[in-house]
Amino acid sequence: MTKPAADMVAQALNMIERGDLTLEKGPEVFGEAWDLVYPAVKIALKVNLASQPPVISSRPFQPLDLSSGWHSLQSQLETTPQLAASPQPARPAQPVFEWWAWLLRFFQSRPGQALGGSLVGLVLVFFLALGVAESQPGDPLYRARLGWEYLGEFVELNPDQKALVALRSADNRLAELENMAFAAKPDQLLEVQGQYLRALDASARYSANPLFHSYLALYEQLNVQRDRVTRLQLAEYSFGPGARLQYLAGRLDDAVYIIAPRVPGYSPPAPEVTPNPATPAPVPVR
pLDDT surpassing 70 at residue 92: no
More confident residue, 260 or 132: 260
More confident residue, 96 or 46: 46
- Choose the most confident range, by mean pLDDT, from 132-141, 157-166, 185-194: 157-166
pLDDT of 284: 52
Tens of pLDDT along 62-74?
666 666 767 777 7
Residues 53, 57, 63, 68, CA torsion sign: negative
Q: How confident is the model at residue 144 (pLDDT cuts 50, 70, 90)?
A: confident
Residue type for 223, please? Answer: N
Q: How confident is the model at residue 201 (pLDDT cuts 50, 70, 90)?
A: very high
Q: How confident is the model at residue 178 (pLDDT cuts 50, 70, 90)?
A: confident
> Across residues 170-191, what is the average pLDDT?
82
Q: At what angle do helices 34-51 and 3-18 cross, to 10 degrees?
A: 60
> Across residues 122-139, what is the average pLDDT?
56
More confident residue, 101 or 61: 101
pLDDT of 29: 80
pLDDT of 279: 53
pLDDT of 16: 82
pLDDT surpassing 60 at residue 285: no
Q: How confident is the model at residue 136 (pLDDT cuts 50, 70, 90)?
A: low
Angle at 161 between CA 150 and CA 157, to 5 degrees: 80
pLDDT of 185: 79
Verdict on whether the full-model pTM lies above 0.75: no
> Across residues 233-244, what is the average pLDDT?
74
